[in-house]
Structure 1
Amino acid sequence: MPGYGAKLPLIIDGQDGPYSLVNDYATLMRQNLKMLLLTAPGERMMIPSYGVGLRNFLFENRGPKN
């Protein structure tokens, strides 16, 4: 069965090639969405606008600052 993309984190196994592959679209979409949400803008050098930076909002105060 062909793989659709690299399984993250990268695991070297030699079975599907140099690393393990994702074999279904649902897993690949979950993996890519998680990567998009957890990547901070500017974290990727070649695509500086990629990412949401969700970690910046996790502990942000909801009310006005004192």
Structure 2
Amino acid sequence: MRVVVDMTRCQDHGQCVFAAPDVFRLDDAGKLAYVAEPGEALRADVEDAADVCPLQAIRIEA
């Protein structure tokens, strides 16, 4: 699984961090950082994160 975040759409609301804290985090500057290729075991959390993103900036590939 590959996670892609459209950083031009992302406004760092952080909802994805709550849904999938093993994949998404806010760095010291408050900007989103994420694991681009998390393990398949985290798919459900990543799907939840994509669903709760207010700007629908998160996409899952394969």
Same structural fold, with TM-score higher than 0.5 when normalized by the shorter chain: no
- Which of structures 1 and 2 has the bigger CA Rg? 1
TM-score normalised by L of structure 1: 0.28
Taking structure 2 as the reference length, the TM-score comes to 0.29
Q: Specify which structure has the bigger relative contact order, considering alpha-carbon pairs within 8 angstroms and separated by 6 or more residues.
A: 2
Greater strand share, structure number? 2
